[in-house]
């Protein structure tokens, strides 16, 4: 059995934002105990370096055939996970980007120097990793990372980041217009018709996405529009393999296990349509209420984010004022010239002067 793992969006946890963690990948694998190989679907802008390497090491530790499939965007530490595949393929129009790690720290000069050493250590680790994986000298890899290099499918294949081309089926036709029996009008008409046909053949076909009665969207990446959803079809929900039952608005139920469609339950004949409609209406109402509650929570989160940002700015400004205004030498000078003397001390000095 061929299993599927989905890694979508941010990798690791950032402040106020949670991404795909190692535990999420382990959970997907555990739900597919019969899998003898895995397809790892990646569409990610990257994230936390340590988390990316943890996921890479875990995938390699499975000791199973792996095929990594990049679609949309594979960038930053997501490219490290991509390299875990024995077979590595980038879908058409996918962007692949490698660069040096980034970060920032506040603190003393010693603390900043220690942090810089840590970042350089990570840089060396990435250079060594890519160099070994694509069989390039470190002197060739480092400039690619430093310059934030973007690669399309062709370049990634040439450099060795991917090792299998994504070869979509291309319809080819040949038209011989060199016949003496054709008039110029005939040739012009046929050329125009031929061009229209080829444009239709080149049109990108999108995959099927189905929404259930609760508003969950089932994404079938391997089924094109117009094709039938059948047993064995693969689907995901919010980037995770679909699992459990999903009731569709027409009463049909899809049952999934580890992302694979295992059963299609049709609505029983003779079922009370009014009762079914009432249930669907209740589900839709509940879905709308959940959406409203989610929106309220998101609004509150954004408000709290804004408060945190403003508070951070205020703290930084406050720290700046303290460090810029405090000057030990100027305080000493003011005391010596009497600028900081108390009124009583000033009066005493005047008396001393009169004497």
Is residue 325 located within the same domain as residue 283? yes
Question: Among residues 27, 37, 41, 76, which one is catalytic?
Answer: 76
Percent of the chain topping pLDDT 90: 26
pLDDT-derived band of residue 161, with 50, 70 and 90 as boundaries?
A: very high
SS3 261: strand
Residue at 173 is within a domain? no
Residue at 229 is within a domain? yes
Rounded to whole angstroms, the Cα distance separating 67 from 84 reads 8
Domain boundary pick from 198, 233, 265? 265
- The tokens describing 203, both together, are 């049109």
Residue at 199 is within a domain? no
Establish whether 76 is a catalytic residue: yes
Q: Which CATH number does the domain housing residue 86 bear? A: 3.90.226.10
Residue at 137 is within a domain? no
Establish whether 99 is a catalytic residue: yes
Residue at 187 is within a domain? no
Range of the domain at 238: 207-265
Is residue 95 located within the same domain as residue 11? yes
Residue at 119 is within a domain? no
Question: Among residues 41, 44, 99, 233, which one is catalytic?
Answer: 99
Please work out, in degrees rounded to the nearest 5, the angle formed at the alpha carbon of residue 84 by the alpha carbons of 80 and 125.
Answer: 40
Predicted pLDDT of residue 281:
72
Write the CB contacts of 16 (distance below 8 Å, at least 6 apart in sequence): 301, 305, 308
Rounded to whole angstroms, the Cα distance separating 278 from 121 reads 62
pLDDT in tens, 30-54: 999 999 999 999 999 988 899 999 9
Output the CA torsion sign for 341, 344, 350, 355. negative
Residue at 165 is within a domain? no
* Predicted TM-score (pTM) above 0.75: no
Is residue 336 located within the same domain as residue 284? yes
Domains of the chain: total: 3
Is residue 152 located within the same domain as residue 47? yes
Is residue 56 located within the same domain as residue 152? yes
Of 168-172, 203-207, 300-304, the range with the highest mean pLDDT is 300-304
């Amino acid at each position: 059995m061929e299993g599927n793992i989905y890694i979508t969006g941010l990798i690791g946890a950032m402040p106020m934002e949670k991404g795909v963690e190692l535990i999420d990948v382990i959970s997907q694998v555990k739900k597919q105990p019969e899998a003898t190989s895995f397809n790892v679907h990646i569409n990610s802008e990257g994230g936390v370096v340590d988390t990316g390497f943890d996921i890479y090491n875990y995938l390699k530790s499975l000791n199973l055939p792996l095929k990594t499939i990049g679609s949309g965007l594979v960038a930053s530490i997501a490219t490290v996970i991509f390299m875990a595949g024995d077979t590595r393929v980038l879908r058409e129009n996918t962007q692949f980007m490698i660069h040096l790690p980034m970060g920032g720290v506040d603190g003393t000069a010693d603390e900043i120097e220690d942090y810089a050493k840590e970042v350089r250590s990570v840089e060396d680790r990435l250079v060594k990793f890519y160099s070994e994986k694509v069989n390039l000298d470190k002197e060739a890899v480092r400039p690619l990372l430093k310059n934030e290099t973007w690669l399309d499918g062709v370049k990634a294949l040439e450099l060795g980041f991917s090792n299998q081309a994504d070869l979509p089926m291309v319809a080819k036709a040949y038209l011989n217009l060199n016949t003496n029996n054709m008039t110029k009008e005939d040739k012009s008409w046929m050329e125009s018709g031929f061009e229209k046909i080829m444009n239709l053949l080149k049109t990108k076909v999108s995959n099927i996405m189905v929404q259930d009665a609760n508003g969950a969207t089932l994404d079938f990446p391997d089924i094109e529009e117009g094709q039938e959803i059948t047993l064995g079809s693969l689907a995901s929900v919010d980037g995770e393999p679909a699992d459990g039952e999903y009731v569709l608005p027409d009463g049909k139920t899809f049952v999934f296990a580890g992302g694979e469609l295992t059963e299609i339950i049709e609505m029983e004949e003779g079922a009370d349509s009014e009762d079914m409609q009432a249930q669907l209406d209740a589900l839709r109402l509940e879905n709308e209420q959940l959406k409203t509650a989610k929106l309220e929570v998101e609004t509150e989160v954004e408000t709290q984010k804004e408060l945190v940002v403003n508070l951070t700015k205020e703290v930084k400004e406050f720290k700046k004022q303290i460090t810029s205004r405090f000057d030990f030498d100027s305080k000493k000078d003011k005391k010596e010239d009497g600028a900081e003397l108390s009124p009583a001390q000033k009066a005493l000095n005047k008396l001393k002067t009169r004497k």
